[in-house]
Structure 1
Amino acid sequence: MTNRLVPAAALVIALAIFFGYVSPTYSGSVAEIKERVMRATSALDAAARFGEKQNELASARNAILVDDLARLEALLPDSVDNVSVILDLTSLATRSGLLLSSINVAASPAGGGQEAAALSRVGSIDLILSATGSYESFIAFIAGVERSARLLDVTAFAVRGSNTGVYGYNLTVRLYWLR
């Protein structure tokens, strides 16, 4: 009788160990570990793809000539740098024979919501200029803004008439930079 009882008891003990310890461990913590390993593997794959893309973009950037890269940086810099733009505009106005009486920074550019601005990779700010001078001086100033190395848009302007040939001008100039 002990001969029959020992195998049955061993089977019951084996089943108890399997259902009491092995199965919960395998389906619980082992499954969680497998899931974490799969997530880590997918993260490593994504990091490898990112590294490849980064190397591809770096080689494309290195293929750009230094002079062209400097011109691009001047056209669309990665910071606002209002002071240098204001100095450039003042210098341009002086060379053109236009007298700048004030330069103000507008609160925010017109059009587009804050959500659209947050998603855009290009930021912009409006500068409001007040100036006086002859029509020829104004045309020379606008031509200088047009040829400027910095990306500028004249978004609005108004002219105050005069009998003396010296007019008053109000301009709104939009300045761009990379975010």
Structure 2
Amino acid sequence: MKLFTPILFLGLAGAIFFWYINPTYLGLQDSLAEQAQFDAALSRSRELQDVRDQLLSRYNTFPQIDLARLQKLVPDHVDNVRLILDFDSMATKYGMRVRNVVIETPKERVSRGQIGPDEKTYESVILSFNVSGSYDTFRQYLADLEKSLRLVDVVGLSFTANETGIYEFTFHIKTYWLKP
């Protein structure tokens, strides 16, 4: 009997260790590891908030007129109506009118050999329209397009002539905007 009681207590201690203490200890270790991950994520979020605050303070130092010009240069959305009105107001200065406007909607373009999503941070659209005028007014209008704040590329240009010296110019212009 003297030997039975210590063996019983030893077996009972082993059973308690394997069925209660060890699983509880492992669960506690998992909780501590999860807490460490949360603490790391919290400190990282504080760092990101500090960076955001620094960038926001730098952004707020820019004059509003410069920000408006930058928004006009590369907008964050496509505003075809405003763009056409801008082109028409430039043409009106030279006695021309923008006509026959066609907007080529952007299609999903996949280049040969491209795998995965498109990594570009911008989108583009091609806008086609006609103007009529003399060659000199055309050159002045083209110079105004070149000096415009809106980022545009003339990707195509054709013209037809008649006997009166008035030409019909067809523009194909590519414009850009930032993806959201």
Given that 1:109 and 1:126 are in contact with CA atoms closer than 8 Å, whether structure 2 keeps it comes out as no
Give 1:131 deviation, angstroms.
2.0
Distance of 1:104 and 1:115 partners within structure 2: 31
Equivalent residue, structure 1, for 2:17: 18
Give 1:103 deviation, angstroms.
1.0
Give the match's secondary structure for 1:99. coil
Equivalent residue, structure 2, for 1:71: 69
Structure 2 unaligned residues grouped into runs of 5+: none
* Distance change in 2, residues 1:70/1:99 (3 Å): closer
TM-score by length of 2: 0.85
Identity of aligned residues (%): 32
TM-score by length of 1: 0.85
* Cα-Cα RMSD: 2.5
Distance of 2:56 and 2:5 partners within structure 1: 72
- What aligned pairs does 1:1-179 form with structure 2 within 5 A after superposition? 1-2=1-2, 4-27=3-26, 29-108=27-106, 113=111, 118-179=118-179
Letter aligned with residue 37 of structure 1 = Q
- State how many pairs are aligned: 177
- Provide runs of 4+ in structure 1 moved above 4 Å: 109-118
Give 1:163 deviation, angstroms.
2.7
Letter aligned with residue 57 of structure 1 = L
Distance of 1:90 and 1:169 partners within structure 2: 14
Structure 1 unaligned residues grouped into runs of 5+: none
Give the match's secondary structure for 2:93. helix
Higher helix content, 1 or 2: 1
